[in-house]
Structure 1
């Protein structure tokens, strides 16, 4: 019997690999001779680096870079087992975890550190970079990232722009002649499910700016600045990005990547399915186990369990897909269909505190997997 185990992380409690190990532990108590194919997963957000490194036997790289407030921070990215692909979470260098209620200010925060991580990966011979762009503290349109890659963003006096989206109204010229030559030979794959444009009522500043500390006045300023930025990109690079779906992701980093690098956008879960070789590893599966910390009606829109279910059903259509989740929310009935999820179980055995649930997560996950395995075994015996 073959089990495919492909969970996401259980946020705050287990990495995807630790969750996969716990599920295997439980199932092995019932099926000690079974074949287990463990594929740690993610959906392009937090945990994607660790999941893909674990799934491909890659390695983690740690580097000091420029944080969103222009202070030095330590960030981590991954190189996959093929030694040609890097995976970077922009939040590792430019994320909300580096600011607080007193320091967050999207007028000054920068994506420069994200560009530094990209440049470091390229200098190691990397040919593809998977870049997850969730959780940003920035609203600079990817200007800082571009500057780190060697692009000059100049004002009317031919001076380099300071960091931050609050300075973009001063942009007068984009000089790409000094960009790193690595850009020409590196493919950037943007992992994002965000479809917001760069500007306007659905744009980066209006929709995401407030959660990064932007006041209504700041939102107005930042949106106007990004519009000016888009106009200069259109004039100098002949790229119309203002209304491009996804350009507003991560405070406009999506636009910067599309403007200055050889980039394309893909759904995060689709990227992880591809680079983890999930479909190939799910061939001839008898059962598929997946899961994450929480599941509800939103899981259908790009989250790991639903993506795993659709991917594995495409190659093993008769294999039931079983989801084990830390918390089961509203609307899960919409997740059930013949091409996706077959059953959903919560791992928490009773009423407990969040602290206890996290602490006992691996034990509870293994116990639930064992009990589901016993049910499978009893049905087969009959």
Structure 2
């Protein structure tokens, strides 16, 4: 039997590496001679740098930046000398984890810190820059990133606006006179598996702003702000990308990366498979089961999280896909939408959530071995 394991982390419980270890133990209980291959992957969210560092030789670079509220911090990204490529994780400077619950408000937050990291990488000679999106505390349409690279967003009076979500409705003109010339010689890539557009019921504000602390009125204001930004971008730059699948990722940061920095979008799973040269496993054929998983599976999983990308990979090579999760939050009728052979939930509803988190490894191992034993006998 041949198995390929491509799980995400179980947030707050197990790293992706630990999940792979638990899955492998479960497989060995039923198929002791199984051939098991694994990929430490990322959909571009938090854990992106760890996934990259596990795949290729890179060095860590420290640079001064700011957090989502503009406070000075020391941040890190990765650099590969071999191909002059930088790898930046958006959550490092613009992440929700950097804020206390009382500080979370996407009308006040900015992606400026991520822009400062991109600037630093360009100044160090980066020719390719890969930005892992996800886990952001922001909804600024990427104007913070652009500001960090020399773009200036002005109101009707010509005053430079602070690049935060709450100022999107005030953007009237885009000043490109101070944009870094180094941008012309670099290729940028936005890494994420989210397919949401910028605007509308599935857009950045409607879907993700509530998770970042926005109330109903703030969500409405952010939506209007993103509409205004897209209007001004169309007039100033002659290019609109609001309907581009994935533009709504990270509070519209993906949109900003595309329209201001000409970044191309790459799906997280595809990116990691290429980086690790793991797709050769599938091209060779003979894989019996592809196993993935993450802490929770819900409706948003269908919007482009890692599991969605793994399912697409399985479909491409006609390999069945099994998912394991800590918590399954789907109506029974919706489970079939994922294209999975099955979803295994390790949580015991009779016990506290903390129990499942503390015992996630053995629960994954036992759940998987039980499923494979039944699968083997049918």
Q: TM-score range by the shorter chain?
A: 0.7 to 0.9
Q: What is the CA distance between 1:257 and its match in structure 2?
A: 1.5
Q: What is the CA distance between 1:311 and its match in structure 2?
A: 1.3
Aligned to 2:293: 291
Kindly tell me: are residues 26 and 243 of structure 1, through their superposed partners in 2, closer, same or farther at Cα, counting changes over 3 Å? closer
Kindly tell me: are residues 32 and 178 of structure 1, through their superposed partners in 2, closer, same or farther at Cα, counting changes over 3 Å? same
In structure 2, stretches of 5+ residues that fail to align are none
| 1:196-345 matched pairs, under 5 angstroms | 196-198=197-199, 204-205=204-205, 208-214=208-214, 218-219=218-219, 221-241=221-241, 246-282=246-282, 283=284, 284-295=286-297, 299-315=301-317, 317=318, 320-331=320-331, 335=335, 340-345=339-344
Deviations 1:284-311 (A, max 9, x none): 3233322222335664443433432441
Kindly tell me: are residues 362 and 169 of structure 1, through their superposed partners in 2, closer, same or farther at Cα, counting changes over 3 Å? closer
Contact 2:39 2:273 in 1 (8 A): no
Contact 1:53 1:79 in 2 (8 A): no
Kindly tell me: are residues 81 and 295 of structure 1, through their superposed partners in 2, closer, same or farther at Cα, counting changes over 3 Å? farther
SS in 2 for 1:188: strand
106-115 or 75-84: which moved more?
A: 75-84
User: 2: distance between equivalents of 1:164 and 1:151?
Assistant: 14
Deviations 1:7-32 (A, max 9, x none): 11112111112111222233345555
Contact 1:189 1:264 in 2 (8 A): yes
Aligned to 2:133: 133
286-295 or 366-375: which moved more?
A: 366-375
Aligned to 1:186: 187
User: 1: distance between equivalents of 2:8 and 2:222?
Assistant: 35
Contact 1:115 1:145 in 2 (8 A): yes
User: 2: distance between equivalents of 1:181 and 1:104?
Assistant: 34
Deviations 1:236-286 (A, max 9, x none): 322234665554443332332222112233444444444444432233323
User: 2: distance between equivalents of 1:86 and 1:190?
Assistant: 13
User: 1: distance between equivalents of 2:216 and 2:5?
Assistant: 46
SS in 2 for 1:20: helix
User: 2: distance between equivalents of 1:207 and 1:43?
Assistant: 18
User: 1: distance between equivalents of 2:192 and 2:182?
Assistant: 20
| 1:13-92 matched pairs, under 5 angstroms | 13-29=13-29, 31-56=31-56, 61-79=61-79, 84-92=84-92
| TM-score computed with the length of structure 2 as normaliser | 0.80
Contact 1:29 1:370 in 2 (8 A): yes
SS in 1 for 2:116: helix
Aligned to 2:108: 108
In structure 1, stretches of 5+ residues that fail to align are none
Contact 1:4 1:285 in 2 (8 A): yes
Kindly tell me: are residues 59 and 371 of structure 1, through their superposed partners in 2, closer, same or farther at Cα, counting changes over 3 Å? farther
User: 2: distance between equivalents of 1:256 and 1:87?
Assistant: 18
40-49 or 139-148: which moved more?
A: 40-49
User: 2: distance between equivalents of 1:195 and 1:209?
Assistant: 13
The root-mean-square deviation of aligned C-alpha atoms, in Å, is: 3.7
Q: What is the CA distance between 1:230 and its match in structure 2?
A: 3.4
